[in-house]
Structure 1
Amino acid sequence: MSIERIINVAFQVYDWLIFIRIILSFIRHNPYHPLIRFIYEVTEPVLGFFRRFIPAVGMLDFSPLVAFFVLELLRQLILNVLRMVGL
């Protein structure tokens, strides 16, 4: 498996974790379930970072949308740097 493929899969998995977290915000769930705790613990550092700069508008939290956008830019940047280096 190429490093480019590994990076793409890693970012895609993280995107799915953020998406699942968005879905969890709309349904009742047990926050102490190990899988749900894992999702929150893995996604909170990124989402919490963006929440510091982007306040919620009423009940809407736009930090996941910004996170999707920034993560995609970061993925593209990493891949372009790797291509320039020749990996």
Structure 2
Amino acid sequence: MSVNREMETCMLALFQTIDLALNLYTWVLIASAIFSWLYAFNVINSSNRFVNSLGTFLYNVTEPVLRPLRRILPDLGGIDISPIVVLLIIFFVRSFMWNSLYPLFA
């Protein structure tokens, strides 16, 4: 196997790993948004330990990304669009990565 082919295989593995991480974070953001709606409308039992630990996990994973955006975005009266903005950014990064960066290394 040539060095060039090994480099291409390594870059493909790196890009696929980054893509998978972004895809997983997309699903975590969606789960966090759904959880917050269920919690806000009192659909789920907030005193349940599993529900509470799941909510804490989702909050701790998503809040460091969402908090800075909430400071920048205008106040829409209780409607939080920061998860949508993050999802759009993730979509852009994934598209840019595969369509612009990866062909440079392939």
Indicate the RMSD between aligned Cα atoms, in angstroms. Answer: 2.4
Q: What is aligned with 1:16?
A: 27
In 1, Cα distance between equivalents of 2:15 and 2:68: 26
TM-score by length of 1: 0.78
Give the deviation of 1:83 after TM superposition: 4.1
CA 18–58 in structure 1, closer or farther in 2 if over 3 Å, else same: same
Q: What is aligned with 1:7?
A: 18
Give the deviation of 1:3 after TM superposition: 1.7
Give the deviation of 1:20 after TM superposition: 0.7
Matched, 1:42 2:53: no
Identity in percent: 28
Matches within 5 A, 1:27-66: 27-28=38-39, 29=44, 30=46, 33-66=52-85
Decide which structure has greater helix share.
Answer: 2
Contact 1:55 / 1:61 at 8 angstroms: preserved in 2?
no
Number of residue pairs the alignment of both structures matches: 86
Contact 1:15 / 1:68 at 8 angstroms: preserved in 2?
yes
Runs of at least 5 residues in structure 1 that lack an aligned partner in the other structure: none
In 2, Cα distance between equivalents of 1:77 and 1:50: 21
